Every structure is written in structure tokens, then in C-alpha cells.
């Protein structure tokens, strides 16, 4: 709270110097967001994974000790005792109060053991996951979204037409109450950027893709440009 005024003044001075005096950055380049601790939103401390596991083990040990003594004094059935749930959430579904993350790569070995490896057959149409393509294709030397669309994305889509007569591209939709939103929150957050053909591509592509609004605008732009070249 004591450094709010100084922090704001320093950012204002830096903003004016970089964009108007030195002209090193465009005026549309956003300022860094300040997450200063306020009385209404105090900083939350996230315990480390090791500390959380140690705390859970201590709680389980204390619970088992008390319940074991109760079963002995009341002649309880120990076999039935260990059949009961003793945690606030099922450990098979949740971990430290959060949805347990599964490793989809573990399924690959189980599936490949029962599938014969064959060569890719000739097809007339391909279905492309547009989100995977965007994650896979970095902007590289593209400075604006117009260059990214023309030299990176559309070039990749056009190359797929060499082995197919039709290309269908599918996109994701992002809902706040979906299960996948937990995974996205765990990956972190980025800055909000406006997406248009004349706008410069943000330097940190991965951080840009962490914001759902950024991806929604980008996917809409890519879909419109792909449709335009085949209209």
C-alpha cells in the first residue's frame, strides 16, 4: 500500500519515455499489470507440494491413531474400519483439493500394444485440430498477425492439401465452468492482447495463448482468413 504512488509514477515515466521520447515501443504496447496486495484481496500463499503432502500425512496419522484406539476400546471391526473413506475428498479423483491431473501419454503404450502398425492410407479429406496447429507453429519471424496468417498458418494448411482434396479445421471453445479450465488455470495467465491483421504479434507466444480471449479472437481471425482464400 505504501508503494502504490511511487509504483504508478515510475510506470508512467517509463511509459512516456519508451513510447514518446525514445520511441522504442508502440503506443499500443500494454503496460505491465500490477498485482499489489490490497486489504480487500490479501496475497494468498500457496503451500509447496512437499509441505502439503507432509501436512496430509500428519493428519492421516493422527486420524488413524485416534480411530484405532476407539476401535480397540469399543471392540470395533478393523476390517470394516479401513473400508471407510477417511479423507475429505477421494484421492483417486482429487489431489490436495484440486482435480488430479492424468498423463494422457500413459495411454499410448496400452493402445499401441493392441494395434497393428500400418502405413497411413490414402484419404480424400483431413480433419485438423486448429488449436494444436497454433500451439505447434510459432510466429518465428512474423512481426504482425497478417504475416503470421500468410506465412505460417495458411502455408501449413496449404501443404496439407498435397495429400488430400479437402481440409476441415476444428477449434476449441472455452467455458469458465469446464473441467479443462482447471488445467488452464494451473498453466498460468498472460496479458490480454488485441488480435487484428495490423497488430504486432506479442513476443511471448506461449503467454499470449494462456488467455482464453486471445485465443478466441485469434481462432476467429484464422478461420475467416482460411475461408477467404478458398471463397
Sorted by where each begins, the domain ranges of the chain are 1-32, 50-99, 124-228
* Selected residue with higher pLDDT from 192 and 82: 192
SS (H, E, C) the chain: CCCHHHHHHHHHHHHHHHHHHCCCCCCCCCCCCCCCCCCCCCCCCCCCHHHHHHHHHHHHHHHHHHHHHHHHHCCCCHHHHCCCCCCCCCCCCEECCEECCCCCCHHHHHHHCCCCCCCCCCCCEEEEEHHHHHHHCCCCCCCEHHHHHHHHHHHHHHHHHHHCCEEEEECCCCCCCCCHHHHHHHHCCCCCCCCCCCCECCCCHHHHCCCHHHHHHHHHHHHHHHHHHCC
Is the pTM here over 0.85, yes or no?
no
Segment 74-133, tens digit of pLDDT: 777 767 777 777 777 777 777 766 777 777 777 788 887 777 777 777 889 999 999 999
Q: How far apart, in whole angstroms, are the C-alpha atoms of residue 230 and residue 228?
A: 5
Q: CB atoms < 10 A from the CB of 217, how many?
A: 17
Amino acid at each position: 500500500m505504501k508503494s502504490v504512488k511511487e509504483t504508478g509514477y515510475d510506470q508512467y515515466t517509463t511509459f512516456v519515455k519508451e513510447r514518446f521520447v525514445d520511441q522504442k515501443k508502440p503506443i499500443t504496447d500494454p503496460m505491465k499489470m500490477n498485482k499489489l496486495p490490497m486489504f480487500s484481496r490479501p496475497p494468498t500463499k500457496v503451500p509447496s507440494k512437499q509441505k502439503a503432502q507432509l501436512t496430509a500425512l500428519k493428519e492421516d496419522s493422527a486420524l488413524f491413531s485416534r480411530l484405532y484406539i476407539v476401535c480397540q476400546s469399543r471392540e470395533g471391526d478393523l476390517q470394516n474400519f479401513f473400508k471407510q473413506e477417511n479423507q475429505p475428498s477421494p484421492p483417486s479423483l482429487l489431489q490436495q483439493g484440486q482435480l488430479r491431473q492424468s498423463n494422457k501419454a500413459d495411454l499410448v503404450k496400452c493402445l499401441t500394444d493392441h494395434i497393428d502398425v500400418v502405413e497411413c492410407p490414402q484419404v480424400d479429406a483431413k480433419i485438423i485440430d486448429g488449436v494444436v496447429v497454433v500451439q505447434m507453429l510459432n510466429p518465428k519471424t512474423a512481426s504482425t498477425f497478417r504475416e503470421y496468417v500468410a506465412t505460417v498458418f495458411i502455408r501449413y494448411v496449404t501443404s496439407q492439401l498435397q495429400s488430400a482434396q479437402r481440409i476441415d479445421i476444428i477449434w476449441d471453445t472455452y467455458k469458465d465452468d469446464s473441467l479443462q479450465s482447471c488445467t488452464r488455470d494451473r498453466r498460468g495467465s498472460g496479458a490480454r492482447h488485441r488480435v487484428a491483421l495490423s497488430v504486432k504479434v506479442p513476443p511471448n507466444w506461449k503467454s499470449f495463448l494462456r488467455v482464453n480471449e486471445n485465443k478466441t479472437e485469434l481462432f476467429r481471425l484464422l478461420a475467416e482468413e482460411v475461408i477467404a482464400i478458398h471463397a
